[in-house]
Chain A
Amino acid sequence: MANTSATLDKKTLLWMYETMVVIRKFEESSKREADAGKLRGMHSSIGQEAVPTGISAHLRDDDYALGTHRSHHHCIAKGVDLNEMMAELLGKATGTNKGKGGTMHIADINKGMLGANGVVGSNIPVAVGAALSAKVKGNDSVSVVYFGDGAANQGSLHEAMNLASIWKLPVIFVCENNRYAESTPFEYSVAGESVAKRAEGYAMPGVEADGQSVLEMWEVGKEAIRRARAGEGPTLIEAMTYRYHGHFGADDPLNYRTQEEEDYYEARDCVEQLKNHILDTGKATEEELASLDEKAGVSVSAATKFADESPFPLPEELTTDVYVNV
């Protein structure tokens, strides 16, 4: 019998747990690096770990993922190397992008990470192109694009959904609805107060999911990716989630949202929920989870040390990579 989220095997559950813990520890460490002035500000993904983790459980290295300005969690869930990611954050030569892209632009084509992107909505049509490439080449790779509730109002999403639908492309549009576009509340900016419903106009399934439940993300991701691989076309998933921190380092979110709201979401923390599920169902022991916590801590510390000790790019790198051939 095929897995459902209620009967998930131990290996998948522990992979998801470890991935989310690694993301959280990576973000905590990168915030410390930012506070120390080694990078000037970043967009923390803490709180949103479950969304790409549940989706990525179904992805292979030859599937594509594309992200946003807030994309560290997408990259980690897609398997991008932690050392190279942290080095990129610090602008080092050993970074994923040789220090040229930084926190908002991490890319690793070998892992199918086709790049985070700093322009809201900009990556969505690019994901359609990656899916087109898979279709034309005749393989069953799929393309996942993450974007926020803010990007739901960009024309690029609508044009991309239409194109993906008429061409039946293997795209999974994942809206991480964390309720805020910078300081602008979702209920103000999104007409109809649903992103998922917009799928109807483009003749594709639109699914709303609890983005704080990695099990639910796993479940909806499974069906969307099955559809895509089977050539049945795109799906739009609206994952209801929450970022615990401000839009970026210096932003105090209590200028636009309440403490009660923050408490509500933190009480439904995605890592804690999965931990409780694993323990309640007896899939693993406290000790096993603790050892994964420790392993994650060690990996992130090692990545941070690697980044700190790595060299900066040489001055001549300023003008390399502008063209393939000059």
Chain B
Amino acid sequence: MKPDVLKKQAWKSQGPPSDKTRKLTFIQAVNEAIRQAMREDPTVIVMGEDIAGAPGREEQGFIDAWGGPTRLTKGLIQEFGPERIRDTPISEAGFVGAGVGAAATGLRPLVDLMYAGFFGVCADQITNNAAKMHYMFGGKVNVPLTIMTNIGAGANSAAQHSETIYSVFAHYPGLKCVVPSDPYTAKGLFISAIRDNDPVIIFNHKLLMGMRAGPEVPEEPYEVPIGKANVVQEGADVTLTGVGYTTQICIEAAAELSQQGYSAEVVDLLTVSPMDEETVLESVKKTRRIVIVDEDYPRCSFASDVSALVAEQAFDYLDAPPCRVTPPHTLVPYSLALEPLFIPTVERVVAAATEVLQ
């Protein structure tokens, strides 16, 4: 049975479907995805710190003071109200855990964990509850929870606010992990994640927020499938795999390599777990070389997983060992002089590709 407040806000049809597309920023694309997901399903609620802002002060004329730490949820409270756009205290264990409980009992919560590094505060809820309930309860309880969180260095924010740690979550069976690389994939992955019946974590890179590049964004809701990588551009000489921000690095690197006369294929992995092994293997069997570009820490990581996949299942096709371009095994430094050395760059990818092409 649905609470009355949810019934009242059920989506009313906005007219015939449109096939229009247009340029949106990453933030606008995510915002539209959440809005449309909330319109189509009254059980979708959003929880997080300052996702609207100034909670409880509507009567004083303050509403939506922040619209989320990165403005992803701006303007939603005006349409859906504080019952469905719920500002929370700073209590990650509390509200992420509440997201698990609400998801297990009929809602589709979208929970904002401000930075991925803050998962430490609520790790128990994510790894012991969200990831395991469906399995432990014999498949009889679903946890259609979506968590969105910010990742990425490059903002002078030091070690606790800059991590790209999807590999930690990918380690846990039961969690799905997706990483949009541009506005188009952001909207589609958000819609897929919210509609999905498993817990899905969406990792948004800080440096992509203002981005408008990539394919135009359809006005209508659409899904980008979870578990499928995307061949952004075809090539014959070397495969470059990226995830999130590093896909953009790969696209730029491919352009530079093309000036040197090499044809690079760019694979945007999009889903860290479950991994689309087939697309990676198909690509590398064609190009016979692979450069895996990832901003997560390099040990026991997604990049090492891709490398192992290729080494184990495409060994006979390879003309060079799989090559990883990642940060060194260190933490994210604060200093503006050190931080750029942490993040994989176009230059490093081009150099690595040139090396495997020799």
Q: Which residues of A contact B (CB under 8 A)?
A: 39-41, 91-92, 97, 99-105, 117-122, 150-151, 153-156, 181-185, 187-190, 255-258, 312-313, 315, 317-319, 322
Q: Report how far A153 CA is from B88 CA in the complex, Å.
A: 10
Q: Which residue of A lies closest to B66 (CB)?
A: A183
Q: Report how far A189 CA is from B52 CA in the complex, Å.
A: 14
B337: chain A residues within 8 A (beta carbon): 91, 99, 312-313, 315
- Picked from B53, B328, B329, B335, the residue with its CB within 8 Å of the CB of A182 is B53
A318:B341 contact, CB within 8 angstroms: yes
B268 within 8 A of A: no
Q: Known contacts A40-B156, A189-B89, A312-B337: does B50 contact A182 (CB below 8 Å)? A: yes
A100:B91 contact, CB within 8 angstroms: no
Q: Report how far A255 CA is from B60 CA in the complex, Å.
A: 11
20 more CB-based (< 8 A) A-B contacts, given A184-B53, A256-B65, A313-B335: A40-B336, A99-B334, A100-B333, A100-B334, A100-B335, A102-B156, A105-B160, A117-B160, A122-B120, A122-B121, A154-B91, A182-B49, A183-B50, A183-B65, A184-B54, A187-B56, A255-B65, A313-B337, A318-B341, A322-B331
Q: Which of B305-352 contact A (CB under 8 A)?
A: 328-331, 333-338, 341-342
A155:B50 contact, CB within 8 angstroms: no
A185:B55 contact, CB within 8 angstroms: yes
A91:B338 contact, CB within 8 angstroms: yes
Q: Known contacts A255-B65, A315-B341: does B90 contact A121 (CB below 8 Å)? A: yes
Q: Known contacts A119-B118, A121-B121: does B338 contact A99 (CB below 8 Å)? A: yes
Q: Which of B43-66 contact A (CB under 8 A)?
A: 49-50, 53-57, 60, 62, 65-66
B47 to chain A, nearest CB (A): 13
B60: chain A residues within 8 A (beta carbon): 258
B336:A91 contact, CB within 8 angstroms: yes
Against A, the Cβ 8 Å flags (1 = close, 0 = not) of B225-243 are 0000000000000000000
B335:A99 contact, CB within 8 angstroms: yes
B207 within 8 A of A: no
A100:B338 contact, CB within 8 angstroms: yes
B65:A118 contact, CB within 8 angstroms: no
A80 to chain B, nearest CB (A): 16
What are 28 of the A-B contact pairs (CB < 8 Å)? A40-B336, A91-B338, A97-B334, A99-B338, A101-B334, A104-B158, A105-B334, A119-B117, A119-B121, A121-B121, A150-B90, A154-B121, A155-B91, A183-B54, A184-B49, A184-B53, A188-B56, A188-B87, A189-B88, A190-B89, A257-B54, A315-B337, A315-B341, A317-B338, A318-B338, A318-B342, A319-B328, A319-B330
What is the total number of residues of chain B having a CB less than 8 Å from a CB of chain A? 43
Residue among B49, B60, B88, B90 with max Cβ neighbours from chain A (10 Å): B90
B5 within 8 A of A: no
B81 within 8 A of A: no
B90: chain A residues within 8 A (beta carbon): 120-121, 150-151, 153-154, 181, 184, 189
Q: Which of B117-156 contact A (CB under 8 A)?
A: 117-118, 120-121, 155-156
Q: Known contacts A40-B155, A99-B338: does B329 contact A188 (CB below 8 Å)? A: no
Q: Which of B72-114 contact A (CB under 8 A)?
A: 87-94
B357 within 8 A of A: no
Q: Report how far A118 CA is from B338 CA in the complex, Å.
A: 19
B159 within 8 A of A: yes
B57:A256 contact, CB within 8 angstroms: yes
Q: Which residue of B lies closest to A317 (CB)?
A: B338
B331: chain A residues within 8 A (beta carbon): 100, 322
Q: Report how far A104 CA is from B155 CA in the complex, Å.
A: 13
B161 within 8 A of A: yes
A312: chain B residues within 8 A (beta carbon): 335-338
Q: Report how far A92 CA is from B89 CA in the complex, Å.
A: 35
Q: Which residue of B lies closest to A320 (CB)?
A: B330
Q: Which residue of A lies closest to B120 (CB)?
A: A119
Q: Report how far A156 CA is from B92 CA in the complex, Å.
A: 11
Q: Which residue of B lies closest to A42 (CB)?
A: B156
B157: chain A residues within 8 A (beta carbon): 40, 102, 104, 118
B91:A41 contact, CB within 8 angstroms: no
